[in-house]
Amino acid sequence: MNRQRKTKLITYICVAIICMAFIVGAVVRCALLIMDNYTNQLKQSLSDVSDQYAATLSEQVETRYNLLQSVAVSFEKEGENRNNIIDNFVPVVESFDLKRLGIVDKDGIVHATDGSGSNVMFRDFFKRSISGDTYISDILIDSISDDKEKIIVMSMPLHNNSGEIDGIAGLTYKLDSLSDELSIKSFEGYGDNFVINHSGEIVVSSNEDILPVYHRVTLADIEITDHGNSGNVSFAETIVRESYMDGMFEIKDKEYYFIFTPVEIMENNSTWYILSVVPSEYLMLKFWGVQRNLYRMIAIVMLVITVTILGTRYFFRNQRRLTYKLAYTSPVTGGANLPRFLDNMKSVKRGGYIAFMNLEDFTHTSVATGIEKSNELVKIIWDVIKNFMKYGEYAGHDHIDTFVLYFNERSNVAVEERLNKLRDLIHEAGHENNIPWVFPKFGVCRISEENDVKTAYSKAEYTSYDTWGSTKFVSFYSEEDYEKQTLNKNIEEYFEIALEEERFEVWYQPKYSISGEKMTGAEALVRWRKRDGMILPPGAFIPRLEKNGEIARLDEYVFEHTCRQIREWKDKGYSTVPVSINVSRATFYRDKVVETYMSILSKYNLKPSDVQIEVTETILGGNDNILDLLTKFRENGIKILMDDFGSGYSSLSTLNMRCFDTLKIDKSLVDEILNDYGRIIINQTIELGNELGLYITVEGVEDKQQIDILHGMKCNDIQGYFFSKPLPAAEFEEKIK
């Protein structure tokens, strides 16, 4: 045991050392990358500064060059009298901060605004311009005045009327005017700037401490230590050879980053350069703050690693417990989920039954009650299930409204009895929590040698769909159901095509007065005629469409086809009756449903009294929005029929909502009319409806005995096979001609 602990400790230490080494290396690498980034930024900023000064200097020279051109034109116009107008340009000299402006005749004698008259025949600028060039000089010592100032002369030739050069025009400005521009410090006062001519001489300096001015030997002695990684090269030689250059050089044991940028002085003339420098210590000052933070980060990271290693075992223990809880616990119920159920089933050594439980219309219940209330209901149902299961039986919560259960029973009858009890308990729990619309439906599959647990679960889930849209709540899987499964798949795949090809036919079942002498109305019922001519009844496809939400599109289809058919009958002069059309719950969740249906009526020029809408009691589900929509339909003149009253869990409180015009008593009550209790119930229901002012229709009437009993009750009309089964449109048309 001690050896194992030592081995683990050594392992942890080795891992810690490796991690620390890796992190330190990463931090150093990060520091180098940051340093490179700072260096690149510095070079870019240095380039921007140099470009800015170059642009400024070029603008200055260009301005003076343009001035000199204008003055030269004026001089040439005056011809031999040009000396007489020199004094006219004194204001120009002052405006442009010049030292003088004047003319030099072909003998080299100066005639200037300051009255000077020396001979400058020996000067390069005279020699160049008298030969026809426009020229700007290097730095000169003013020999015309006594102040011996450093100056720069700009000159250009003057022509007589014959086009011959007979003198030059020139302007002189002090070197200080350039120095002022360069004296603006950059890089927080660390940067300096210089003007260098094409020969490598410094023309203007902003800091003589770095590069002593006017000493060509200084530039010649400087070696560039970094210039595109090309090794050490002479600064002065490189200036002559290259028009643009950056890099590093060293003076007095101090390194500088530099860049020099060409400045085009004048056309057909030599080039000057802006040399911008900044010491490398400026970069280190900028980087020091980052470096200090990196060192702190290394210390913090090492501390964190140490703490992390010490807490690893504790963390992983808790993580394993949390992972197990997340993997095997339902977040809604806090109990077992499907993976936990399947894991528990590994201990089952014998047969039994898997039941898949789904809550019908739970999505609508969630919308009506809210997420919190629906989650609370799921927890309540889980508690009911958990307390209901026997020892050795298991249950799990799958999705929000589905559960899986294992019953250790031997027969279908025993399982169905238990599911019946469980259903009653769940429904009772729903009532106690003010959610009466809780309808659990079950699909059941026996575990056999051919069915393992997962297979039985899948088959139970599949067969549960048979209970949707029907009154039965339990369905047992059989192999014969495979054809139904294929049919359901085809329904979903071919529904869109069937709509486009109008393969849904609307049939009509008449409603008659109690005597059977007068047709009082009809109900529109849908059939699906396949391409091979086979007709699918509603029970074969309606539940599936209700499940996937496509039923709302079919509702609108039937409504429009019914309106179109009524219009055709009216145009033929037939005596039409009101036709009621079934509308599902999903339809009432579509946008502007009332407006859509009323626009269809208007499209076929029908009155609201020509159609009626049938809904089931469960459509309300506590949803005030649906109640408002039903009221809106009635306000538009369309009557609302409550269908299937008496089936399932009818609530008398529904009648008090006052959103129905007609009460349709379900066949399940009519089937019991021959016994005393059944007769009393249906009679009292009819009387209650009459007292509330409702129109009463009894549906599902199939024999003469039922008719005879209903004669003594105050119902308004009858619907059922005794009078007529549902008829295709052509056959129904024969009855209303």
Tell how strand 100-105 and strand 352-360 pair up. Answer: unpaired
Distance CA 732, CA 276 (A): 101
Site of tokens 């106690």: 432
pLDDT of residue 115: 76
pLDDT of residue 597: 96
pLDDT of residue 737: 83
Distance CA 344, CA 715 (A): 57
pLDDT at 541 over 80: yes
Site of tokens 């049919």: 487
pLDDT of residue 715: 92
pLDDT tens digits for range 505-517: 999 999 999 888 8
DSSP per-residue string spanning 154-206? EEEEEE-TTS-EEEEEEEEEETHHHHHHHTS-BTTTTBEEEEE-TTS-EEEES
**Three-state DSSP class for residue 315:** helix
Mean pLDDT across the stretch 163-192?
Answer: 78
Query: What confidence tier does 357 reach under pLDDT thresholds 50, 70, 90?
Result: very high
Identify whether the C-beta of residue 107 lies closer than 8 Å to the C-beta of residue 166: no
pLDDT of residue 216: 41
pLDDT at 622 over 60: no
Q: To 5 degrees, how large is the angle CA 372–CA 377–CA 381? A: 150
Query: What confidence tier does 478 reach under pLDDT thresholds 50, 70, 90?
Result: confident
pLDDT at 340 over 70: yes
Site of tokens 């009635």: 634
| Contacts (Cβ under 8 Å, ≥6 apart) of 329 | 335, 336, 337, 340
pLDDT of residue 682: 92
Identify whether the C-beta of residue 582 lies closer than 8 Å to the C-beta of residue 555: yes
pLDDT at 364 over 70: no
Mean pLDDT across the stretch 461-481?
Answer: 79
Which tokens in the block code for residue 578?
């009101």
DSSP per-residue string spanning 674-733? TSHHHHHHHHHHHHHHHHTT-EEEEE---SHHHHHHHHTS--SEEESTTT---B-HHHHH
The answer, as to whether pTM is greater than 0.85, is no
Distance CA 385, CA 398 (A): 13
Site of tokens 């208007």: 602
